[in-house]
Chain A
Amino acid sequence: MSMQWNDVDGGMDPVSSADFMPRQQLKSLQMQRMRAVVRHAYEHVSVFRGRMDAAGVKPDDIRSLDDVRRLPFTHKTDLRDHYPFGLFAVPMPEIVRLHASSGTTGKPIVVAYTAEDIRVWSEVMARSFAACGLSRRDVVQNAYGYGLFTGGLGAHYGAEAIGATVIPISGGNTERQLTVLKDFGVTAICCTPSYFLHLWESAQAQGLKRGELKLKVGVFGAEPWTEDMRARIQREAGIRAHDIYGLSEIIGPGVACECHCQCGPHIFEDHFYPEIIDPKSGEPLPDGAEGELVLTTLSKRAMPMIRYRTHDITSLSDDTCNCGRSLRRIRRIARRSDDMLIIRGVNLYPSQIETALLRVRGTAPHYQIEIGRENDLDTLAVRVEIDPAALGDQLADLEDLRDEVSRSIEGVTGLRAQIHLAEPNSIERSQGKAKRVIDRRRLS
Chain B
Amino acid sequence: MKLIQLSVFLENRPGRLARSCRVLADAGIDIVAANVVDTREFGILRLIVADAEAATKALAGAGYAVNRAEVVAVEVADRPGSMAVILEALDAAGVNVEYAYAFTERRGARAALVFRFAQPEAAIAALQRAGIPVIGPVEAFRAG
Binding site for B on A (CB under 8 A): 205, 386-388, 391-395, 398-399, 420-426
Contact = CB atoms under 8 A, between A and B. Distances in A.
B7 A423 contact: no
B12 to A, nearest CB: 10
25 contacts: A205-B60, A205-B63, A386-B65, A388-B60, A391-B7, A392-B7, A392-B67, A392-B69, A393-B5, A393-B67, A393-B69, A395-B38, A395-B44, A398-B39, A398-B42, A421-B9, A421-B11, A421-B41, A422-B11, A423-B10, A423-B64, A424-B63, A424-B64, A424-B65, A425-B63
B37 A423 contact: no
Contacts of B60: 205, 388
B65 A423 contact: yes
Interface string B58-77: 00110111110100000000
Contacts of B65: 386-388, 391, 423-424
Interface string B65-106: 111010000000000000000000000000000100000000
B63 A393 contact: no
Given A388-B9, A388-B65, A422-B11, 4 more contacts: A387-B65, A391-B7, A393-B7, A423-B63
Nearest to A392: B67
Contacts of A422: 11
Interface in B94-142: 98, 116
A121 B117 CA distance: 63
Nearest to A418: B41
B67 A388 contact: yes
A289 to B, nearest CB: 44
The 9 A-B pairs of least Cβ separation, nearest first, read A388-B65, A393-B7, A425-B63, A393-B69, A391-B67, A391-B65, A424-B65, A395-B37, A421-B42
A425 B64 CA distance: 8
Interface residues of B, number: 24
Most buried by A among B41, B60, B65, B67: B65
Contact of A395 (B16, B39, B116): B39
Contacts of B116: 393
A10 B60 CA distance: 45
B9 A398 contact: yes
Contacts of A425: 63
A361 B63 CA distance: 19
Contacts of B37: 395
B63 A386 contact: no
A393 B42 contact: no
Most buried by B among A394, A395, A423: A423
Contact of B66 (A388, A395, A421, A426): A388
Most buried by B among A386, A388, A420: A388
B39 A426 contact: no
A426 B11 contact: yes
B5 A423 contact: no
A233 B65 CA distance: 20
Most buried by A among B9, B41, B61, B69: B9
B9 A423 contact: yes
Contacts of B41: 420-421
A420 B41 CA distance: 7
A56 B86 CA distance: 93
A155 B61 CA distance: 32
Contacts of B16: 423
Nearest to B68: A393
A420 B13 CA distance: 12
A391 B65 CA distance: 7
Nearest to A387: B65
A423 B11 contact: yes
A398 B44 contact: yes
Interface in B31-71: 37-39, 41-44, 46, 60-61, 63-67, 69
Given A205-B60, A399-B39, A391 B66 contact: yes
Contacts of A391: 7, 9, 65-67
Contacts of A399: 39
A398 to B, nearest CB: 6
Contacts of A398: 9, 39, 42, 44
A147 B140 CA distance: 60
Contacts of A421: 9, 11, 41-42
A193 B25 CA distance: 36
A387 B64 CA distance: 10
B6 to A, nearest CB: 9
Contacts of A205: 60-61, 63
A161 to B, nearest CB: 39
Nearest to A205: B60
Nearest to A204: B60
Interface string B1-33: 000010101110000100000000000000000
A420 to B, nearest CB: 6
A391 to B, nearest CB: 4
